[in-house]
Amino acid sequence: MTTQEEQTRTGLRFPAGFAWGAATSAYQIEGAVAEDGRGASIWDTFTKTPGRVLNGHNADVAIDHYHRYREDVAVMADLGLSAYRFSVSWPRIQPAGSGAINPKGLDFYKRLCDELRQHAIDPWLTLYHWDLPQELEDKGGWPNRDTAYRFAEYAAAVHDALKDYVHTFSTVNEPWCAAFLGYASGEHAPGRREPENAIRGAHHLNLAHGLAVQAMDARRVGGCVNLYAITPETDSERDLDAARRIDGLQNRFFLDALMLGRYPEDVLADLPFDKDFIEPGDMKTINAPIDVLLVNYYSRFTVSGAPGGAQSAAAAPTDSGSPWVGSEHVSFVNGGRPVTAMGWEIDEGGLVEILTRVAREYPPIPMVVSENGAAFEDVLDEGRIHDRERLAYVEAHLGACKQAIDAGVPLEGYFAWSLMDNFEWAWGYGKRFGLVRVDFETQERLVKDSALWYAEIIRQNRRHEPTDS
Ligand code: FCB
């Protein structure tokens, strides 16, 4: 046994065929925003609006993945990844958000998928990771029902062109963020603070998911939700009610819709608006059968219904409102756990909790953890990044995955967020989530200790798999 192997022996044994992945998204890594016919997205507009993104950063260049994708796939292959989750930039494919398809946009993703397959890495394609074409926002954005139909058209075009290349399609990444950070708190693009429109947006994002699943017909397709473990601060009635509300808006509003074809009655009752935007047949569409549920998990919230508490678990970097439509009075309390550089509490037990909960409370469905990871202040030390805290975070959460599998959860893969340091939305380049460091000046890639450790865990697990699998 080599020293490296001894150091990384954790007893983390996963079933054969488990997907060992890492994730990214288009706007956060690609750059090349004005190349090969790409149209503008709401993030192009948002980043150019003063005060929206910390230090005025934008992703015009990002980490230049559009030009360096071959080098990046080579890094993935060195790490031994068996799966890579990336997103397609809608305005690259349909610059105006509807109508003409830009073949050069599709070509980029074909080349990327080819490169992945040549290295035996399965492409997991996400259709929407928040970069709505600006022209669709100009027509009302997600609060406008028509956007959902445009999304289904776009999904069909991507599916037709890439179905022979892609292992698994997924629809909307984290509809909670797209709706509530985009249209209620305004922390994300398009930066609107319109609570009622945020709810409409949330419904139309769910509808877009269902319409796209139908439009892609019979391919392996999944939906993606970001789930939180939630604890009431005390067992007082008001804290229990706070926990019910936040669980309702964060978790059940999306899970119940996708998996059960209905919205939770208590959540609808918390929302002081007409629900006339939910049209007959919508819930059945949203409940269209999927093959896999993609679960993003980062943290636990401890919440209180007492007045005067903090607005949010981790303060936004820019001036923004509350995303908690209808439950703005709920406060987020320090749960006493260590935090990451985002201020997010570290709680791997929460991951076991949510995975077992989904398995217990919803119809049976294979799941993957499609994002999980942590930002920390990395320090360059003689050409190395000894990111022990990130390594410990991933190790603990992989342990949680294992625990969930042992408890009977059909968990089929894990995708670290993120493969590489990148543009972290309202935080600009201020937060590093990568297993691989990127020098934002020179674009040099450097594998961090956490990545070397992850590679060794993958190697130990895949060693026992048949080579032709
Ligand atoms: C998730 C997003 C991803 C990244 C991580 C840190 O909510 O899907 O793009 O920003 O958080």
Confidence bin at 289 (pLDDT 50/70/90): very high
**pLDDT score of 467:** 58
If you measure from the C-alpha of residue 70 to the centroid of ligand 1, how many angstroms do you get, rounded to a whole number? Answer: 23
pTM given for the model: 0.97
If you measure from the C-alpha of residue 6 to the centroid of ligand 1, how many angstroms do you get, rounded to a whole number? Answer: 33
**431 near 58, Cβ under 8 Å?**
no
Mutational test site, ligand 1, from 177, 224, 294, 423, max ligand atoms within 8 Å of CB: 177
- Residues paired with residue 447 on neighbouring β-strands, in sequence order: 436
Closest atom of ligand 1 relative to the 425 alpha carbon: 10
Percentage of the chain lying above the pLDDT 70 cut: 95
Confidence bin at 219 (pLDDT 50/70/90): confident
**pLDDT score of 310:** 59
**462 near 80, Cβ under 8 Å?**
yes
Atom 4 of ligand 1: nearest residue by CA position? 424
Structure token pair of residue 435: 């297993």
Degrees to nearest 5, angle at CA 26 with 24 and 29: 70
Query: How many residues can be counted in the chain?
Result: 469
Confidence bin at 351 (pLDDT 50/70/90): very high
Q: What is the mean pLDDT of residues 148-161?
A: 98
Degrees to nearest 5, angle at CA 290 with 170 and 418: 30
pLDDT greater at residue 197 or residue 217? 197
Strands (E), 319-438: 331-333, 367-371, 380-381, 384-385, 411-417, 436-438
Closest to 161 in 3D by CA, of 236, 211, 222, 111: 111
Residue 85 has pLDDT above 70, yes or no: yes
**440 near 382, Cβ under 8 Å?**
no
Q: What is the mean pLDDT of residues 180-185?
A: 98
Residue 1 has pLDDT above 50, yes or no: no
Confidence bin at 342 (pLDDT 50/70/90): very high
Active site residue 382: no
**261 near 287, Cβ under 8 Å?**
yes
**pLDDT score of 463:** 86
Mutational test site, ligand 1, from 65, 126, 170, 174, max ligand atoms within 8 Å of CB: 174
3-state secondary structure of 368: strand
Q: Cβ < 6 Å from ligand 1: which residues?
A: 25, 28, 173-174, 177, 226, 296, 371, 417, 424-425, 433
If you measure from the C-alpha of residue 229 to the centroid of ligand 1, how many angstroms do you get, rounded to a whole number? Answer: 17
**pLDDT score of 469:** 42
Closest atom of ligand 1 relative to the 28 alpha carbon: 9
Chain centre distance of CA 51: 24
Closest to 125 in 3D by CA, of 175, 90, 171: 171
Closest atom of ligand 1 relative to the 25 alpha carbon: 9
**pLDDT score of 312:** 57
Structure token pair of residue 462: 């895949």
3-state secondary structure of 232: strand
Please write the tens of the pLDDT for every residue from 396-413.
999 999 999 999 999 999
Q: Which residue has the tokens 């292992």?
A: 167
Q: What is the mean pLDDT of residues 74-102?
A: 98
Atom 2 of ligand 1: nearest residue by CA position? 174
Closest to 226 in 3D by CA, of 325, 130, 89: 130
Q: What is the mean pLDDT of residues 194-199?
A: 98
Q: What residue type is 121 in one-letter code?
A: I
Active site residue: 30, 233, 371, 412, which one?
371
If you measure from the C-alpha of residue 424 to the centroid of ligand 1, how many angstroms do you get, rounded to a whole number? Answer: 7
